[in-house]
Amino acid sequence: MTGAMPIRGRSILVVDDELAIRRALKSRFEDEGAAAESAEDIQSAKEKLAKQDFDLIVLDHRLPDGTGLALLEKMSRDGLPAEVIMMTAYSSTEDAIRAMKAGAADYVMKPFDLDEMVVVAERALERRALKGEVSRIRDKDRSEGSVKNLIGRSPSMVELREMISRIAGSGARTILIRGESGTGKDLVARAIHYASPEAARPFLNITCTALPEPLLESELFGHEKGAFTDAKQAKMGLFEQADGGTIFLDEVGDMPASLQAKLLRFLESKQFRRVGGLRDISVDVRIVAATNRDLEAAIKAGSFRSDLFYRLNVIPLDVPPLRDRKGDVTLLARHFSERYAEEFRRPPLDLSAGALAALEAHDWPGNVRELKNCIERAVLLGTQPMPTAEAVPAADAAAPTAEKNDAPAKPERVLVLPEGGIDLDSLTRDLLDQALERTGGNKSRAALLLGIHRDQVRYWVKKYGLTKWIRVRPKKAAEA
């Protein structure tokens, strides 16, 4: 086949008033394995479209009872999903523009070569497949970003969902989400976006601790060609890419001071400059920031700007820790059990009364993330029945309490620098590998051992090529 999307198995309708063209195209498409039909005018085409769905329609411009362009525009208004290739013997720039605006995949001049028409058809079918994939991804994003995924019947969760709905419809452009690590601040940010009128626009997120400061600035604001050594071409940053949509800044409390100033300037002016740029760029984006830090304490310590805090804190949202809504533990456990049983094609957990009581008795210092990991592990390892005593919290016994601020005690000295120096990259790679080995690949707990954020662990795993610690979720078996 000449194209990326073969014609074989596709349904194609050829609409043309010339019998020779209809027969030639129908025969050629059938030779390629397509199920082809033909129609000589608009009326007969409508009758066939009413009876059957087609993947592709090859449509002549001038027909005995009207124009193919008019039919195309009607199909576009009706939301017909088929791709359309327009044919004409009469060249007109205006008609070509109208056809493309109405959604035509291509515009072919007569006479044409049959082999070339096959290539055009394959290209149109590839476009249809890509549109279907984009639609599927958008539907998946909307589903995963639904406010319904914020599970809980506790008063605090009911109030949180109500606030999200009000914020999403208010047109608010700056929201600050606060809560402990693992409470689901990212889910709240997505729910705000996908419940808003801008749901079809981009939702882009970045963790402010995941990248070194120069790379973080480039990711956010973009850079011009030659701005630094590796800037071989200009690059759009997330602010430009998300124009009209939402930027989620996770761990904003740990943003470097110089970037805090640039973010403040953007919030006040809605303008920024790329790294190395000379002109201001204006965009309209919603900023949703999140942090698990005490920003008031950070302001007093001089590590966070007070003016940025007040600019971000226009609409504050607090996500409650799981220990303050123990009644939601059972709902969450059952939800995760069903989710992972379906994802990994395993039987759901036997969540007996004893197991649920043990889950509810645990403090869950890692919040919903810790509970989710516990249930996922139990589903994967086939822990049946679910443990009913101290064994439940023991699975995450190494997790620190919230009061310890997710940081292990630091020894006075880890090693003594050799006289000849060391290769810092090799040392970092070795320590990271050891931490992941000790925690069985658990990046959150490896981060605790190293005193860094889990996103830095993910970044270093990719940077140093530690592929054995890059987890790949098993794909679902194809439907029969």
The pLDDT assigned to 407 comes to 44
The pLDDT assigned to 385 comes to 53
* pTM of the predicted model as reported, rounded to 2 decimal places: 0.63
The pLDDT assigned to 417 comes to 60
Host H or E run for residue 122: helix 114-144
pLDDT category of residue 416 using cuts at 50, 70 and 90: low
Give the chain's end-to-end CA distance (angstroms, integer).
26
Rounded Cα distance, 187 and 369, in Å: 12
Are 387 and 358 within 8 A, CB to CB?
Answer: yes
The pLDDT assigned to 5 comes to 64
469-475 average pLDDT score:
59
| Residue 478, Cβ density class (10 Å: 0-12 exposed, 13-18 middle, ≥19 buried) | exposed
More confident residue, 215 or 179: 179
Among 142, 243, 248, CA closest to 199: 142
Helix, strand or coil, per DSSP, at residue 315: strand
The pLDDT assigned to 243 comes to 94
Torsion sign, CA atoms 346, 347, 348, 351: negative
345-374 average pLDDT score:
88
- Paired sense of beta strands 286-291 and 174-178, if any: parallel
Tell me the HSE value of 190 on the side-chain side, using a 13 A CA sphere.
Answer: 18
The pLDDT assigned to 38 comes to 93
Q: What is the pLDDT of residues 278-302, one digit of tens each?
A: 899 999 999 999 999 999 999 999 9
Rounded Cα distance, 301 and 285, in Å: 30
pLDDT category of residue 420 using cuts at 50, 70 and 90: low
The residue length of the chain stands at 480
Give 3-state DSSP helix, strand, coil % of the chain, rounded to 5.
50, 15, 40
Close Cβ partners of 26 (under 8 Å, ≥ 6 residues apart): 14, 36, 37, 38
The pLDDT assigned to 396 comes to 43
Q: Which range, of 239-248, 342-351, 379-388, 458-467, averages the lowest pLDDT?
A: 379-388
Chain center to CA of 408: 32
Helix, strand or coil, per DSSP, at residue 165: helix
Q: What is the pLDDT of residues 10-44, one digit of tens each?
A: 999 999 999 999 999 999 999 999 999 999 999 99
The helix-helix angle for 93-101 and 68-78 (nearest 10°) equals 20
Rounded Cα distance, 119 and 113, in Å: 10
Q: Is the pLDDT score of 126 beyond 60?
A: yes
Where do the domains of the chain lie, and which CATH numbers do they carry? 11-141 (3.40.50.2300), 145-320 (3.40.50.300), 326-401 (1.10.8.60), 424-469 (1.10.10.60)
Q: What are phi and psi of 412, to 5 degrees?
A: -65, -40
Q: What is the pLDDT of residues 194-245, one digit of tens each?
A: 999 999 899 999 999 888 888 899 999 998 888 787 778 888 999 999 999 9
The pLDDT assigned to 425 comes to 72
196 to each of 57, 171, 173, 187, how far by Cα in Å?
A: 36, 8, 11, 14
